[in-house]
Amino acid sequence: MTLDWPTLLPLIFAGLMGLSILIYVVLDGFDLGIGILFAMADDEEKDTMIAAIGPFWDANETWLVLAVGLLLVAFPIAHGVILTALYLPVFVLLVGLILRGIAFDFRAKVPVHRKGRWNFIFFAGSLIASLAQGYMLGIYVLGLDTGLAAIGFGVLVALCLAASYAAMGAAWLIYKTEDELQRKAVRFLRSALVFTAVGMAAISIVTPFASPRIFDKWFTWPEIALLAPLPLITAALFVWLWFLTLRLPARGDRHSITPFVTLATIFTLGFAGLAYSFYPYVVPERLTIWEAAAAAESLAIILVGTVFVLPVIIGYSFYAYRVFGGKATELTYD
């Protein structure tokens, strides 16, 4: 393959889009997960949980906007195909995100006796958005199939992704909270880890059977030897994380960030496996990166804008996490 600009630009944008999706899943995953965990927390704990995500959640969702924006401007044909096939779950996702955003602010403004309903809406919005994302992932893995079996697989992945987000949320709470809520977060993480592992195993088992091409990429030599470390390392990390939770919280708050970093690594390995499986297709078995890409001249102009926008997003994210580091304190709205 000759790496001239018409060849290289679609690869660059595919990489940027994939990176944006991965960062979104890791970062917004924990605040969606904390919303899901609202169902198992009391009122005082819910306030602390909101404080643990309050300074970050808007910045986290910026990565979703960036990923969808890159799909639209860099791969307009793929955008049309994917959004047409996933129109209803995308609509449900947007409803969930809107409910979360409204509830996040309203729960702090309404009288105390009405706060419970907005807490429930925040939980419901978080759960709806997580399930919608998982369902879309399941359908995408099966090549945007809409048959009954595909729908069933999409539901399974939806449930497991919601549990995975709950695990990320619990891991973030271990890092950001103290005392009883931190101990409760450890218990949340142990429970959610099981479903997270089941979801990743299900996707790993089904993906190679989604197409003969992917099967050959997984199970022919030397590809099988190159790919084998991904599931082996992932399984080892799951086992190690499970035993780590048995020793948490540790004295002096040691290793409090370790569960979150470990889960982020597991998600990265899983994403790498999916990227390897579907490359060079952006729409599975239908459109390659180059077939779906916009004209090279358009991509060049968009790349110039991206060079300015992306550092701003990254810089703001690092700044926010640095300024609001440490344990969560009371979140006030003036």
Chunked mean pLDDT (size 10), the chain, 334 residues = 77 92 91 92 87 83 87 90 91 94 85 86 95 92 85 89 94 92 92 88 82 81 83 92 89 89 94 88 90 90 89 88 80 56
CA distance 134 to 160: 7
User: Tell me: the pLDDT tens digits for 303-323?
Assistant: 998 888 889 888 988 888 888
Q: How many CB atoms lie within 10 A of CB 161?
A: 27
Provide the pLDDT for residue 334: 54
Residue 127: its pLDDT value, please?
Answer: 96
pTM above threshold 0.75: yes
Which pLDDT score is estimated for 13? 93
pLDDT of residue 121: 94
pLDDT score for 109: 82
Looking at residue 21, what is its pLDDT? 92
CA distance 236 to 214: 24
Q: Which residues of 63-80 are buried (b: 16+ CB within 10 A; e: fewer)?
A: bbebbbbbbebbbeebbe
Give dist(CA 174, CA 105) in Å, integer. 24
22-26, long-range: CB < 8 A, 24+ apart: 22/267, 22/268, 22/271, 23/63, 24/60, 24/61, 24/63, 24/64, 24/67, 25/267, 25/271, 26/168, 26/264, 26/267, 26/268
Task: Give the residues across from 281 on adjacent strands.
Answer: 288
